Amino acid sequence: MINIDRTSKNLLRDVVGDITTSIGEENDKVAVVNADLMGTCRMRSFNKKFPDRCFNVGIAEQQMVSFAAGLAHEGFIPFAFTMAPFISMRACESVRDDVAYANANVRLMGTYAGVSGGISGATHWSVEDVGIMTSIPNITVIEISDPTEADQLLRQSLDQNGPFYFRYGIIPVPSIYKKNYHFEIGRAEVLNKGNDGAFIVSGVTVPYAIEASNRIEEKTGRHIMVIDMHTIKPIDRDAVMLAAETGNIVCAEDHNIYGGLGSQVAMVLAEEGLAVHFKNIGVPDRFVAMAHAPYLYHEFGYDAEGLEAAMMSMISEDK
């Protein structure tokens, strides 16, 4: 059983900013392109150290992505930073035509993922981005949940050629993994083990799923697996099939219930002919009033309390 230390608070955009600067120190081919959000995306440190490799194109996300594609064609490894709704929707055509079609070696970095933007409202939420990015060929889609995961997966991406999309929120998150934990792009992490049910989660829902799993074990003695599916595309099919062996799967994501992680998992289950009890929890398919992110997580049912209730209602049917 993994215990989450909620006293540890990490802002992933700070973490990612520091990692990018560190990578830039190690590799002079790493460049940053930004769309007038240097502070929001925590790129000021990189800009101060490497002004000749940091480009602010202004509020022009399409041009930012196309500019990054051009840098990639010249041998650079550009990181294009902006808010997730802007890079996935406003710049979608540039992502598809200039980056993905050419299989350009670009890192598309989307902060403000999900409803983490809270009271900024629907214009600054990104609950469609996974559906958009997974539908575009050649793009690897990753959602990070803690600092160690962010550090390793960002660095590993440099060893592969082609476009990546990284999404992450802006609210504080706890540390989950020890610094020496080993990750692999495309391989899910099995955190809590169990044979009574499984949570398949990513990003902000990972610590909530761990808490829900621990609560269920303490209250009932039932063991619920927790799978961190950080790589949403290509999805780890073996991990999905492992979860299916429990007979009960709850997927949870900070994304619309259509087109995201839950849809990817359901597709694997259907293609493999696996019959399980299945629930997909995420942002409902409607526009909702703005509120702080933790309130919305609770309202939509993918905080620890909501995930515990969803799994309990499912495994109680097994008795």
Q: Are 131 and 89 in contact (CB under 8 A)?
A: no
Which residue in 227, 230, 229, 117 sits closest to 169, CA to CA?
Answer: 117
Rounded Cα–Cα distance for residues 298 and 2 (Å):
22
Q: Which of 39-43, 109-113, 261-265, 296-300 has the lowest mean pLDDT?
A: 39-43
pLDDT digits (tens, 9 = 90+) for 160-182: 999 999 999 999 999 999 989 99
The phi, psi pair for 210, rounded to 5°, reads -60, -45
Single-letter code of the amino acid located at 276: V
Rounded Cα–Cα distance for residues 190 and 88 (Å):
29
Query: Within a 10 A sphere around the Cβ of 284, how many other Cβ atoms?
Result: 14
pLDDT band at 9; cut points 50, 70, 90: confident
Q: Which of 42-46, 62-66, 67-71, 135-139 has the lowest mean pLDDT?
A: 42-46
3-state secondary structure of 308: helix
Rounded Cα–Cα distance for residues 273 and 1 (Å):
31
Q: Would you state the pLDDT for residue 6?
A: 74
Q: Would you state the pLDDT for residue 319?
A: 56
The structural domains of the chain, ordered by start, are 12-167 (3.40.50.970), 189-318 (3.40.50.920)
Q: Are 109 and 166 in contact (CB under 8 A)?
A: yes
Q: Would you state the pLDDT for residue 21?
A: 95
3-state secondary structure of 288: coil
Write a three-state SS string for 268-279: HHHHCCCCCEEE
Structure tokens at 74: 């010249």
Determine the straight-line distance between the first and last CA of the chain, rounded to whole angstroms.
Answer: 23
Q: Would you state the pLDDT for residue 41?
A: 81
- Alpha-carbon Rg for the chain, nearest whole angstrom, is 19
Q: Would you state the pLDDT for residue 24?
A: 95
Q: Would you state the pLDDT for residue 165?
A: 99
Q: Would you state the pLDDT for residue 40?
A: 80
25 is catalytic: no
Spatial CB neighbours of 45, under 8 Å, sequence gap ≥ 6: 17, 18, 21
Spatial CB neighbours of 274, under 8 Å, sequence gap ≥ 6: 241, 244, 268
Count Cα atoms within 13 angstroms, Cβ side, for 247. Answer: 9
The whole-number average pLDDT for the span 206-222 is 97
Q: Is 38 a residue whose pLDDT tops 90?
A: no
* Edge-to-edge strand ranges of the sheet holding 164-167: 54-56, 30-34, 77-83, 107-111, 164-167, 140-143, 231-233
Alpha-carbon torsion (187, 165, 212, 207), positive or negative: positive
Q: Which of 9-13, 30-34, 202-206 has the lowest mean pLDDT?
A: 9-13
pLDDT band at 3; cut points 50, 70, 90: confident
Q: Would you state the pLDDT for residue 266?
A: 98
Catalytic residue among 25, 26, 61, 253: 61
Q: What is the DSSP letter of 228?
A: E
Alpha-carbon torsion (41, 117, 267, 305), positive or negative: positive
Rounded Cα–Cα distance for residues 319 and 315 (Å):
7
Query: Within a 10 A sphere around the Cβ of 157, how many other Cβ atoms?
Result: 21
pTM (2 d.p.) = 0.95
pLDDT band at 1; cut points 50, 70, 90: low
Rounded Cα–Cα distance for residues 6 and 173 (Å):
8
